[in-house]
Amino acid sequence: MKLTPKQLEQFDKDGYLFFPSLFTQQEIKVLTDEVPSLYAQRRPENVREKTGDVVRTNFAAHMYSYPFAKLARHPRMVEPIKALFGEDVYMHQFKINGKQAFDGDVWQWHQDYGTWMNDDQMPEARAMNVAIFLDEVNEFNGPLMFIPGSHQLGVMDAAHDVTTTSYPLWTIEPETIRKLVARGGLVAPKGPRGSMILFHSCLVHASTSNLSPWNRISVYLSLCAVSNHIRRFKRPEYIAHRDFAAIECLPDDCLLKAYDVAVPWKGGTPASALVSAG
């Protein structure tokens, strides 16, 4: 999968690219079949909604789930990012966000790179966000909202919101959002399960709560150019990874066939990955 000049131009302008139905229903089923057992685990990688026991986000499944370990090496996702950065990439962050029926809470307006710069000392915004839909995303189940073009303005001031949801987040103030939306509008890509979005790590985004009876589970992967690896290990490793080895892609059929990949945290998270090391 190569990005065309037109796609590259669109990415520069809007800050994201949408690929409806990039993965087949059969491929996605391999992943969705695995999610309930991941969410049921009592491990620090599962962050639950403040309303109760429903999982808001699961971290680092590629380290302990075989199907997600294969997804993390999928060429349809990795190759265009390598081409865009002109170098190898490593996995900086790996999340399966629940946004579950009835309980899925908001994600406030934020940029990802702000956190990576401030907390992780990632030198530049040379890391790409990827969203892969494990459920259909529609207007009712809290789709991701982007402010097109907002990535062009670099890192914005943010405040640490530790009260709105169960997950502390550096959020951007309303007056800034108002100006950005006046400039670029708002979009919310919607589509069937198996769709993928690539979006710039400075693109401002948010999502509302999910009051619908439909889960909106998505995988969010953040791939960083190897030379741009983080310099500080303040956050636990299961949130901000410290292994900067270049991702080696598996073949295109990897979700449907058996391939040899490591799942080193299968038996539990190593103690070193749970603590700050910087």
Which stretches of the chain bind a second copy, using CB under 8 A? 101-102, 106, 108-109, 139-140, 142, 145, 174, 177-178, 181-182, 186, 188, 206-213
- The values of phi and psi at residue 9, to 5°, are -65, -40
Q: Which is nearer to a second copy, 210 or 269 (CB)?
A: 210
DSSP state of 248: P
Q: Which is nearer to a second copy, 57 or 207 (CB)?
A: 207
Measured distance CA(134)–CA(29) in Å, rounded: 8
Q: Which is nearer to a second copy, 140 or 244 (CB)?
A: 140
Measured distance CA(166)–CA(262) in Å, rounded: 31
Judged by DSSP in three states, 68 sits in helix
Beta-carbon neighbour count of residue 21 at 10 Å? 14
Measured distance CA(111)–CA(109) in Å, rounded: 7
- For the bound state, the minimum distance from the C-beta of residue 147 to a second copy, rounded and expressed in Å, comes to 10
- For the bound state, the minimum distance from the C-beta of residue 204 to a second copy, rounded and expressed in Å, comes to 11
- For the bound state, the minimum distance from the C-beta of residue 150 to a second copy, rounded and expressed in Å, comes to 13
Q: Which is nearer to a second copy, 57 or 108 (CB)?
A: 108
Q: Which is nearer to a second copy, 36 or 213 (CB)?
A: 213
- The values of phi and psi at residue 40, to 5°, are -80, -15
- For the bound state, the minimum distance from the C-beta of residue 226 to a second copy, rounded and expressed in Å, comes to 35
- For the bound state, the minimum distance from the C-beta of residue 82 to a second copy, rounded and expressed in Å, comes to 33
Angle, CA 109 vertex, CA 208 and CA 197 arms, to 5°: 75
